[in-house]
Chain A
Amino acid sequence: MHKLLAKLIDAQALASGVFVHTYHAPEISRSAEPGQFVNIRVSSSVAPLLRRPFSVLSSDGREQFRILFEVKGQGTEILSRKQPGAEVDCVGPLGQPFQIKAGKLNLVIAGGMGVAPLFFLMQQLRTKPYPTLLLYGVRTKACLYLVDELVASGVQLQIFTDDGSAGQQGMVTDFVEEYMQPGCAIYACGPMEMIKVLTHKVHSAGLECQVSLENQLGCGVGACLGCVVKVHDGYARVCCDGPVFDSNALEF
């Protein structure tokens, strides 16, 4: 874990209010693993007060890492206005990464912006012998991000949109059973409702999955006990016991 000033070297707007930032920060890029996050202080003032956590979208393993974010409030709005050259106060990499499991199929399930940590995961799964299938669910076609990069990387992709504007109409969780098979390794990130439904279906099929959760963080390093979620034997901290959890540890 490092606290450093990461230099913003590229800022791309993928859509209105959706950005990919590329940062130069060798210490973080070398050690970041899929599922981990960086905690960014977007302003040196107290508005907003707390850091903002972002999943690592990708890392070149040497110098640069990327994040994907949507402007949701004051913090992301300030971050979105930063220009290349800006030095950004960054703590990371933080949290528990995905554990890459040997399965006949890697079934990766993304809901909306939940694609971010999974993108990094798929980067690493590419080096494994078994195929990767991404089920990518979004509200509408305009909310699909990084599809070209995903396709170019050799990932098989199945898209779901609520309004049918791309791929299959419906929610990814309506169809997930069709894609599950014995011995597949399942990884997921998305809205809590999606994670709940998905986990139920995965468990009903006698399988398990790893899920990456989002929460309001306090310290980001495990000290404040503010970001907990319910697990079978009490509460677990999203920031350092997660954000990636085995689905069978969680209580919904």
Chain B
Amino acid sequence: MPDLEIQIGELTLKNPVTVASGTFGYGQEYEAFYDPSLLGAIFLKSVTLEERPGNPPPRLVETPAGLINSIGLQNVGLDRFLDEVVPLLEGIDTVLIANIAGNTVDEYVQLAEALSDCPGLAALEVNVSCPNVKEGGIAFGTSADMIREVTQEVVAASALPIIVKLTPNVADIVSMAHAAEEAGATAVSLVNTFLALAIDIETRRPILGNATGGLSGPAIKPIALRMVWQVARSTNIPIIGMGGIMTGTDAIEFLMAGATAIAVGTANFVNPLAPVEIVKELEMFLEAHHHTSVREIINVVEG
């Protein structure tokens, strides 16, 4: 059996297959299908300081090989997250990573401080890339200076490893990853969704209640893969690669392009077993190619 274990800074993942924030709730919804402890890590749904009702519906539009969403970070807020959500996580035997989103640098800091001592959490993912909220989110993620500032402050506020989740809606993804690396992030997640629009031609209005949303799914995979590859070639920061991963082949492409781990997002909706099937397909690929460790296929693309 090939060794699937990977290391991201001080985090040890039993395998490189994780699930993306916002697509897996807090782990409970998929327990009917498989034991979430089989995953390398779970990126939990975003938490904000205050409760957020989320965006007005409609929140979803299906597109060719893709899905546009504008959920708007609906969540119960920090206090209830600590009281109600954290106890649910007990018993999930894998790396659990909270995803934090703030309107201001200070809010990111408060969230990071409050979650640092939270039992069961192994790391924090800093969401500077949500396309569906007015403040914070993507407004931070499109400026290298803001990424640097948020990352520095959060790293200083928390003893946990910090992973910065970047938006692809920028001219130069490499400079964004550089900023996170310089500011002390342990890893970057690449990529969040692509800002997108769908129009109802009868009403001549956007379909989504929030007008724009974020595009995910196989439609974005080649672009996400290119960004992972570019960042891997120009930085030394570990990458969690994501964007339209549906199969083991997709996952292996991201690993070869330079991702140390991958996250399954929209595929969870299509095939609830996708993450565990990807683990199996990865194992079979490694065996077929006589690799003893998954680490042998990470960042191996030349040219």
B133: A residues at CB distance < 8 A: none
CB distance from B162 to the nearest CB of A (A): 25
CB distance from A57 to the nearest CB of B (A): 23
Asked if B66 contacts A223 (CB within 8 A), the reply is: no
B62: A residues at CB distance < 8 A: 48-50, 216
Interface residues on B, range: 20 to 34
Complex Cα spacing A48 to B66, Å: 9
Task: Name the one of B30, B54, B246 contacting A46, with C-beta atoms under 8 angstroms.
Answer: B246
A220: B residues at CB distance < 8 A: 269
Asked if B271 contacts A41 (CB within 8 A), the reply is: yes
Complex Cα spacing A225 to B217, Å: 17
Query: Which B residue sits closest to A234, measured CB to CB?
Result: B53
Asked if B270 contacts A50 (CB within 8 A), the reply is: yes
Q: Which among A91, A221, A240 has the greatest number of chain B C-beta atoms within 10 A?
A: A221
Query: Which B residue sits closest to A226, measured CB to CB?
Result: B60
Asked if A219 contacts B29 (CB within 8 A), the reply is: yes
B33: A residues at CB distance < 8 A: 1, 3
Complex Cα spacing A3 to B65, Å: 22
Asked if B269 contacts A219 (CB within 8 A), the reply is: yes
Asked if A225 contacts B268 (CB within 8 A), the reply is: no
Task: Name the one of A1, A47, A217, A223 contacting B25, with C-beta atoms under 8 angstroms.
Answer: A223
Question: B238 within 8 Å of A by Cβ?
Answer: no
Asked if B268 contacts A219 (CB within 8 A), the reply is: yes
User: Chain A 213-239 against B: per-residue CB contact (8 Å), 1 yes, 0 no?
Assistant: 001111111111111111000110000
Question: B22 within 8 Å of A by Cβ?
Answer: yes
Complex Cα spacing A214 to B204, Å: 23
Complex Cα spacing A222 to B74, Å: 13
Query: Which A residue sits closest to B53, measured CB to CB?
Result: A234
Question: B13 within 8 Å of A by Cβ?
Answer: no
Question: B206 within 8 Å of A by Cβ?
Answer: no
Complex Cα spacing A228 to B270, Å: 18
B155: A residues at CB distance < 8 A: none
Task: Name the one of A41, A49, A221, A235 contacting B67, with C-beta atoms under 8 angstroms.
Answer: A49
User: Chain B 5-32 against A: per-residue CB contact (8 Å), 1 yes, 0 no?
Assistant: 0000000000000000011110001101
Question: A66 within 8 Å of B by Cβ?
Answer: no
Complex Cα spacing A49 to B244, Å: 11
A215: B residues at CB distance < 8 A: 57
Complex Cα spacing A46 to B271, Å: 11
B-facing residues in A179-237 (Cβ within 8 Å): 215-230, 234-235
Task: Name the one of B23, B25, B65, B270 contacting A51, with C-beta atoms under 8 angstroms.
Answer: B270
A230: B residues at CB distance < 8 A: 56-57
Complex Cα spacing A49 to B74, Å: 24
CB distance from A252 to the nearest CB of B (A): 12
CB distance from A53 to the nearest CB of B (A): 12
Asked if A49 contacts B66 (CB within 8 A), the reply is: yes
Asked if B57 contacts A224 (CB within 8 A), the reply is: no
A-facing residues in B103-162 (Cβ within 8 Å): none
Asked if B30 contacts A218 (CB within 8 A), the reply is: no
Complex Cα spacing A84 to B25, Å: 37
Q: Which among B25, B32, B53, B60 has the greatest number of chain A C-beta atoms within 10 A?
A: B60
User: Chain B 37-71 against A: per-residue CB contact (8 Å), 1 yes, 0 no?
Assistant: 00000000000000001101111111011110101
Complex Cα spacing A50 to B25, Å: 18
A226: B residues at CB distance < 8 A: 59-60, 69, 71
Complex Cα spacing A219 to B273, Å: 12
Query: Can you list 24 A-B contacts with CB-CB less than 8 angstroms, sorted by A residue number?
Result: A3-B33, A47-B64, A49-B64, A49-B66, A49-B218, A49-B266, A49-B270, A51-B269, A216-B58, A218-B67, A219-B29, A219-B272, A221-B30, A221-B32, A222-B29, A223-B25, A223-B30, A223-B269, A224-B60, A225-B74, A227-B60, A229-B57, A230-B56, A235-B57
Show the binding face of B for A, using Cβ within 8 Å.
Answer: 22-25, 29-30, 32-33, 53-54, 56-62, 64-67, 69, 71, 74, 217-218, 246, 266, 268-273
5 closest pairs, A vs B, by CB?
Answer: A223-B25, A226-B60, A223-B29, A219-B269, A46-B65
